[in-house]
Amino acid sequence: MEELWNIYGLPFAMILLHIGITVGVLLGCVAYMTYAERKVLAAMQKRQGPMLVGPFGLLQPLADGIKLLSKETIIPTQANKVVFLLAPLLTFTLALVAWAVIPVGAGLALAEINVGILYLFAISSMGVYGVIMAGWASNSRYAFLGGLRSASQMVSYEVSMGLVIVSVLVCVGSLNLTDIVETPRPVWLQVLLFPMLIVFLVSILAETNRTPFDLPEGESELSGGFMVEYSAFSFALFFLGEYANMILMSAMTTILFLGGWHVPFGIDALSFVPGPVWFALKTALILFFFIWVRATFPRFRYDQLMRLGWKVFLPLTLVWLVVITSALFLFDAVPQ
């Protein structure tokens, strides 16, 4: 019985405490990510953004949460109520459980598993179920068509994301996220991986349904997409899930391409800054990229989105994966 209350050599209560702290910090980051986005977009468009609720508008996320919690959740008469309510919960839950294997520093992860990257890819791939369930359970033609389009969009870009991740894995020789960060990469290899970084950045925009691929939110095209029948807190769960996925994908980019918690460019003068701080700053940089793209680019048409995924990114990543593996053999740099 005592073994059941000890996991990884830690008491079960301590594990629960770690999980609670992680979830609490993540929810706080999600809440203030919405505030940061509105402030940055306001600065780019020469307006104020949130400024009335609390000093500098800092309590605006709290006010938004109270507003959504206090509203009535309306369920369509013909909807499948269980699936209808389960879909946003699944979307939000998947965005949280993926953080179990994310290391924010050396040895700072809830679960240090050797197949962490497969776990992340499996969890992110399951996000499509929440979209399909929401579109189908609403019993609305608009929601159903929006769900189908969103699901095919997410599946399409997961293919290119998978090939990008494979290109990093062949350079590292490990599926462990800590090993991916700790394995040194010569400059020529980092240059070869740079096009894959660009493909990955575009793919995570499509994977998280963000501008310019935010077709689920394109009212003129899809009447609100798969979430058109949702309101109040059930809508808030989709909203929070999207922002939690943005932070997750930014953290994945940091681990795969930006050196995780290591000092940028190996500058020893900056080594006094703790590793988790560097991890947070790099993740914030990718999140700024999300906001910058939203303020800059118009929305793609659906046929343009699918053409980019299948006719451009898929062959490009396949060819570039062959180029990277060939270079590893040529320079005798295949990981052992």
141 token code pair? 């033609």
CA–CA gap between residue 278 and residue 263 (Å, rounded): 7
Which pLDDT value is given to residue 40? 93
The pair phi, psi for residue 11, each rounded to 5°, is -60, 150
Which pLDDT value is given to residue 4? 44
CA distances from residue 248 to 54, 74, 115, 252, 318 in whole angstroms, order as listed: 28, 30, 17, 6, 25
The pair phi, psi for residue 272, each rounded to 5°, is -70, -20
Paired strand residues for 206: none
Q: Cβ of 50: how many Cβ atoms within 10 Å? A: 19
pTM given for the model:
0.90
CA–CA gap between residue 266 and residue 6 (Å, rounded): 38
122 token code pair? 């499996």
Angle between helices 141-172 and 116-137 (to 10 degrees): 170
Paired strand residues for 11: 6
From first CA to last CA, the distance across the chain in angstroms is: 41
Angle between helices 232-257 and 12-44 (to 10 degrees): 90
Domain boundaries, the chain: 1-70, 76-330
CA–CA gap between residue 85 and residue 78 (Å, rounded): 14
CB under 8 A, 24+ apart: contacts of 26-34: 26/96, 26/99, 26/244, 26/247, 27/240, 29/247, 30/240, 30/243, 30/244, 30/247, 31/61, 31/62, 31/65, 32/61, 33/243, 33/246, 33/247, 33/287, 34/61, 34/64, 34/243
CA–CA gap between residue 61 and residue 44 (Å, rounded): 20
Question: Which distant-in-sequence residues (6+ apart) come within 8 Å of 218 by Cβ?
Answer: 225, 299
Let me know: does 174 contact 180? Beta carbons within 8 Å. Answer: yes
Which pLDDT value is given to residue 217? 66
Task: Give the pLDDT of the chain (336 residues) as one tens digit per residue.
Answer: 444 445 555 566 777 787 788 788 888 888 889 899 999 999 998 898 888 888 888 999 999 888 888 888 888 888 888 999 999 999 888 888 888 888 888 777 877 888 888 898 888 888 888 889 998 998 888 888 888 888 888 888 888 999 999 999 998 888 888 889 988 888 888 999 999 999 999 999 988 888 888 876 665 555 667 888 888 888 888 888 889 999 999 999 999 999 888 888 878 788 888 888 999 999 999 999 999 999 998 888 888 888 998 999 999 999 999 999 999 988 887 887
